[in-house]
């Protein structure tokens, strides 16, 4: 497997376009369109929030009922959540606009929205946006990147990644883009992620691979503990690589699962590191837990702790807060037996052992915690299970952004 440049247009047969439709933002692109030249099988995972945005409901139905999908229309600025009947109509109208301009049946057009909750979409602007994008569709890397930029809200960086891997001599490409900065606590996170591949695979296995993968990737990140109404991951596979179609959980399926893990982990970490106001990606790795489930609960409890996140922002080795967060995770353990370490590209130090602080250097700890990616290692000494979770620091800028996001 090899990481390559690119995103949603990396895989064969996928094209993208983007435009400034003026939905809410001024002077920037705010719509993207992804199209597969051939019919693709689709898989999706969606927010567990009881309050589901209209596009989530639209996509859930299409992914469940339709054999294939060919297009995804995305807008930033307005989430089309809590918009009642009208919101659902707008999904239908958007899909119909693609049908009218591209000839792709409306029931093969997925839609996704991100932005403020409760406002209605300006439908005429959306239609004009689609009309503007259709002639611009192409498979260049740049078109994928511009699409990744167009779907940003409070994101400060576009997020895409792609890999190549071989299936019985055939080169397969898998790439994706995502956005997500606030209201990020996926179960599924507003997190939108779009992944495309030219692999030939059955719809059932595509869905199963995605469903299993999100548990260890997107569902292990958190910016603020708020699970959005719009979280969506869509995965399209159009078969244009030319491999023999994967229909069983054989070694070829495992290769795809590995590639998917690499792509989704990379995208998930990009979202956590670009959390609203964040200055650092904050990773917690739990080692030697008794079960995988417990390892995940422990890791996620630490990256979700407001106090720990504020300490990371201050480059303060306040390990007591980490121990505290492990303690209320819901997992039983003996605090005297575990060990804690800080790690970053500046080095690694042990900070806690045998129930008390080690004799570590505060200066060294602060240096380690001043990098853009910092890791807490937790050795539970109970078994062999491990897990990682990704968050970010809690900053003044997070408060500034969210105290007045709507205006």
In angstroms, give the least distance from the CB of 254 to its own copies: 33
Which residue out of 190, 229, 232, 265 is catalytically annotated? 190
In angstroms, give the least distance from the CB of 95 to its own copies: 21
- Give dist(CA 50, CA 395) in Å, integer: 29
In angstroms, give the least distance from the CB of 393 to its own copies: 8
Closer of 135 and 330 to its own copies (Cβ): 330
- Give dist(CA 160, CA 149) in Å, integer: 10
Closer of 169 and 396 to its own copies (Cβ): 396
**3-class DSSP assignment, residue 147:** helix
267: CB partners within 8 A, 6+ apart: 159, 160, 161, 176, 177, 178, 193, 195, 217, 218
- Give dist(CA 105, CA 135) in Å, integer: 18
Closer of 242 and 335 to its own copies (Cβ): 335
What b-and-e string marks burial along 176-212, b requiring 16 or more CB atoms within 10 Å of the CB? bbbbbbbbbbbbbbbbbbbbbbbbbbebebbbebbee
338 near 326, Cβ under 8 Å?
yes
In angstroms, give the least distance from the CB of 91 to its own copies: 15
Give the residue among 293, 320, 154, 298 at the shortest CA–CA distance from 228.
154
Closer of 149 and 368 to its own copies (Cβ): 368
| Phi, psi torsion values for 242, nearest 5 degrees | 90, 10
- Give dist(CA 102, CA 71) in Å, integer: 10
| Vertex 234 angle, CA 195 and 144, to 5° | 40
CA 48 to chain centre: 15
Query: For residue 13, what is the DSSP state?
Result: T
In angstroms, give the least distance from the CB of 298 to its own copies: 10
* Contacts to its own copies by CB under 8 A: 48-52, 79, 81-86, 116-118, 182-183, 185, 187, 224-229, 304-307, 310-311, 313-314, 316, 318-321, 323-329, 331-333, 335-336, 352, 354-357, 394-396, 398-407
Closer of 258 and 354 to its own copies (Cβ): 354
In angstroms, give the least distance from the CB of 325 to its own copies: 7
Closer of 118 and 242 to its own copies (Cβ): 118
Token pair 């990256």 is found at: 303
- Give dist(CA 15, CA 144) in Å, integer: 8
Q: Is 190 one of the catalytic residues?
A: yes
In angstroms, give the least distance from the CB of 184 to its own copies: 10
- Give dist(CA 374, CA 326) in Å, integer: 18
Token pair 């990396």 is found at: 10
By annotation, the residues acting in catalysis are 190
């Amino acid at each position: 497997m090899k990481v390559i440049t690119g995103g949603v247009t990396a895989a064969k047969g996928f094209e993208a376009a983007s435009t400034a439709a003026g939905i809410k933002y001024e002077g920037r692109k705010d719509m993207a369109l992804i199209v597969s030249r051939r019919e693709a099988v689709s898989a999706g995972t969606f927010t567990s929030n009881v309050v589901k945005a209209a596009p989530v409901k639209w996509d859930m139905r299409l992914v469940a009922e339709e054999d294939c999908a060919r297009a995804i229309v995305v807008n930033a600025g307005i989430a089309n959540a809590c918009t009642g009947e009208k919101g659902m109509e707008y999904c239908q109208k958007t899909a119909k606009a693609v049908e009218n301009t591209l000839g792709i049946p409306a029931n093969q057009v997925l839609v996704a929205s991100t932005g403020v909750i409760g406002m209605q979409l300006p439908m005429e602007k959306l239609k004009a946006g689609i009309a503007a994008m259709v002639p611009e569709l192409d498979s260049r890397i740049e078109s994928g990147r511009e699409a990744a930029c167009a779907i940003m809200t409070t994101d400060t960086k576009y997020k895409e990644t792609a890999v190549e891997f071989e299936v019985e001599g055939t080169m397969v490409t898998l790439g994706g883009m995502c956005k997500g900065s606030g209201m990020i606590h996926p179960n599924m996170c507003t997190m939108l992620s779009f992944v495309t591949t030219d692999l030939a695979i059955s719809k059932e296995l595509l869905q199963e691979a995605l469903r299993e993968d999100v548990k260890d990737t997107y569902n292990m990140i958190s910016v603020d503990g708020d699970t959005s109404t719009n979280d969506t991951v869509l995965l399209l596979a159009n078969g244009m690589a030319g491999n023999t179609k994967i229909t069983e959980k054989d070694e070829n399926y495992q290769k795809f699962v590995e590639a998917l893990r690499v792509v989704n982990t990379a995208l998930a970490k990009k979202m956590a590191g670009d959390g609203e106001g964040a200055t650092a990606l904050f990773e917690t790795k739990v080692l030697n837990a008794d079960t995988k489930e417990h390892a995940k609960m422990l890791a996620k409890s630490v990256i979700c702790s407001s106090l720990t996140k504020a300490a990371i922002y201050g480059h303060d080795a306040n390990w007591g807060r980490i121990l505290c967060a492990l303690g209320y995770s819901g997992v039983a353990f003996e605090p005297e037996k575990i060990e804690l370490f800080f790690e970053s590209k500046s080095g690694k130090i042990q900070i806690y052992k045998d129930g008390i602080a080690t004799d570590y250097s505060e200066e060294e700890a602060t240096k380690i915690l001043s990098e853009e990616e910092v890791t807490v290692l937790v050795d539970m000494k109970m078994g062999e299970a491990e897990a990682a979770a990704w968050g970010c620091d809690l900053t003044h800028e997070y408060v500034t952004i969210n105290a007045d996001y709507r205006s």
